[in-house]
Amino acid sequence: MSPSSNPMADKIARVVRLRNRGLSYGEIAKRVRTTRGSVAGILHRVRNPRPVRPKRPYLDISLVSDLPAHEARYILAVTLGLGLSATGRMIGRTAPTVRYSCHRVEDRRDDPDYDNWLTEIEYCKLREAETGSDQPTREPTLTNDPHLGS
């Protein structure tokens, strides 16, 4: 029997072989030079492997990639009507994170300058989503928004 290039895999295989022979955890621990707890953990993981979850692919969010994070989440969730969970899945965040962003944006909309700026952004992004083009139909006119630091 030739050893593999993975020492941990060799150790696991040896522990399983010894346990299949009926040896106690203490005997296995002596032969493998480890603790009984380690043997128990190895055998538990062999019997109950963790399910491998496929990684969720992030969807294309290039429509809002040029915006600040809170505004991008708000536009996806509210303006485009994707909802909190769907938006969270798209950007790799949780629904509460998206909800927090939406609350922040809603609170800031009390400022008329910010509201006008965001309304124009919403209009542009809706037009982009409808036409499917990646070129904005028009640029927002408010360029020196004090809230964005520009």
Mean pLDDT over 86-95 rounds to: 88
98 in Cβ contact with 84 (< 8 Å): yes
> DSSP character for 67?
S
Q: Give every CB contact of residue 18 below 8 A, 6+ residues apart in sequence.
A: 27, 28, 31, 32
Q: Angle, nearest 10°, between helix axes 7-20 and 36-47? A: 90
pLDDT band at 98 (very low <50, low <70, confident <90, very high): very high
pLDDT band at 2 (very low <50, low <70, confident <90, very high): low
- Taking all residues of the chain, what is their mean pLDDT, rounded to a whole number? 79
Q: Give every CB contact of residue 42 below 8 A, 6+ residues apart in sequence.
A: 11, 12, 15, 16
74 — phi, psi (to 5°)?
A: -60, -45
- Say what the pLDDT of residue 109 is: 92
Letter for the amino acid at 149? G
Percent of the chain with pLDDT over 70: 77
Does pTM surpass 0.85?
no
Mean pLDDT over 36-53 rounds to: 77
Token output for 12: 């696991």
